Amino acid sequence: MADRLNGARILILETREEAQFSRLLVEQGADVLQCPMFVIHDNPVAEPVEAFIRRAVERPLDDFVLLTGEGLRRLVAAARRIGLEAEFVKAVGAARCFTRGPKPGRALRDLGLAPDATTDTPTSEGVAALLAGYDLNGHRVGLQLYPDKDHGALIAAITALGAEVETVLPYVYDPKAADANILKAIDEMAAGRVDAVALTSSGQVRRLIEAARHHGYEDRLRAALERTKIASVGPVVSEELSANGLRTDIYPANHAFFMKPLISAMAQVLGAGRGPA
């Protein structure tokens, strides 16, 4: 990257890949303020998750649609707990794997596997469009879900292609556990101690506003964002910002909607004139 962040203080709200995002920012000289928007737990109802794993081992899926990297990691951990880790990883490798954006692909590569196809845009609509280009008629398709999202349209789209869909929800969110940190982060922005907030999912926008509203902090949040640069990873996040009356100040170039291009865009905007780190 030609520009560096050189001490710029960046607020990140990433939950699933917080450590990686923080590391990439620190490598560019940023001072990172971490505020995960959720606490993540394994699904407290373990039986359906374990049953999905056993079925996948006993009768491998034809196709496996992965919506999050966290979901795959949680499934592998659940398989380990019931003594089926190696068998489950083998079953995943035998299926044709489709991923929603780059994060599930990284989780696959951590297992020595690779996606067969990845969406151009990391949305459910992008997944449906990708799958429409493949023959799924008569296939058993595993669909890894994530919390706080209605996946009915995606399930219907896959079913309409002639597939039998088996869903699994490996983890859940505990939003209340993070509220105190969110309010502290708003205070830091309001005090002018944050140069930019980096948003990597539309859910972060909704969660930030909902938490602020619940605690009577929405006016303070909006005032804080007026003095803080807002960096968006891509169109879905920017659309959510706009829908809530907020702007996008920093945006990746060349339609590359991932962490590294977002960091590059922040470095270009914030790094100029700061001098060496």
Instruction: Encode the chain (277 residues) as per-residue pLDDT tens digits.
Output: 445 888 899 999 876 667 788 888 999 899 999 998 778 899 999 999 999 999 999 999 999 999 999 999 999 999 999 999 999 999 999 999 999 988 899 999 999 999 999 998 888 999 999 999 999 999 999 999 998 789 999 999 999 999 999 999 999 988 777 888 899 999 999 999 999 999 988 889 998 999 999 999 999 999 999 999 999 998 989 999 999 999 999 998 877 667 888 999 999 999 754 544 3
Look at residue 203 in the predicted model and tell me its pLDDT. Answer: 84
- Most distant CA pair in the chain: distance in Å? 60
Buried b (16+ CB within 10 A) or exposed e, 164-183: ebebbbbbbbebeebbebbb
- Provide the β-strand partners of residue 111: none
Q: What kind of architecture, by CATH, is found in domain 9-40+175-270?
A: 3-Layer(aba) Sandwich (3.40)
Query: At 228, which amino acid appears?
Result: T
Q: How far is 100 from 232, CA to CA, in rounded Å?
A: 18
Look at residue 16 in the predicted model and tell me its pLDDT. Answer: 62
Phi and psi (nearest 5°) for 5?
-80, -20
Q: How far is 155 from 143, CA to CA, in rounded Å?
A: 8
Q: How far is CA 164 from CA 25, 93, 199, in A?
A: 42, 19, 35
Q: How far is CA 20 from CA 12, 27, 103, 270, in A?
A: 11, 11, 11, 20
Residue 230 three-state SS: strand
Look at residue 257 in the predicted model and tell me its pLDDT. Answer: 65
Q: What kind of architecture, by CATH, is found in domain 44-169?
A: 3-Layer(aba) Sandwich (3.40)
Residues of the chain with CATH 3.40.50.10090: 9-40+175-270, 44-169
Cα 259–264–267 angle (5° rounding)? 125
Residue 197 three-state SS: strand
User: Which pTM was predicted?
Assistant: 0.68
Look at residue 3 in the predicted model and tell me its pLDDT. Answer: 55
Tell me if 70 sits within 8 A of 78, measured CB to CB: no
* Residue 47, CB-side half-sphere exposure with 13 Å CA sphere: 0
